[in-house]
């Protein structure tokens, strides 16, 4: 289901990848922005998502490693 949703994702995005949650589990990440300046990235306005996307994707800022 998740792969079908990202193909129709309503916002422009940079890439699809994965990330590690604080508890160690792996999560699917759809990057809307990719920036080395975390402070600037955290100030970027992220448009709100609507269903069905809110059942699969959560908004947030991920730190690249």
Number of structural domains in the chain = 1
The alpha carbon of 43 is separated from its chain's Cα centroid by a whole number of angstroms, namely 15
Within a domain: residue 65? no
> pTM for the whole thing?
0.62
Q: Where are the alpha helices (DSSP H) in 1-65?
A: 2-7, 38-42
The pLDDT tens digits of the residues spanning 15-63 come to: 888 888 888 888 878 888 887 888 888 888 878 888 877 777 777 776 6
Range of the domain at 24: 2-55
Within a domain: residue 23? yes
Within a domain: residue 63? no
Within a domain: residue 64? no
Within a domain: residue 62? no
Within a domain: residue 8? yes
Within a domain: residue 28? yes
């Amino acid at each position: 289901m998740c792969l079908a949703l990202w193909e129709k994702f309503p916002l422009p995005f940079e890439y699809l990848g994965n990330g590690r949650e604080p508890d160690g589990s792996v999560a699917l990440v759809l990057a809307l922005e990719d920036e080395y300046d975390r402070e600037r990235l955290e100030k970027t306005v992220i448009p709100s998502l609507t269903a069905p996307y809110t059942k699969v994707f959560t908004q947030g800022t991920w730190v690249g490693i």
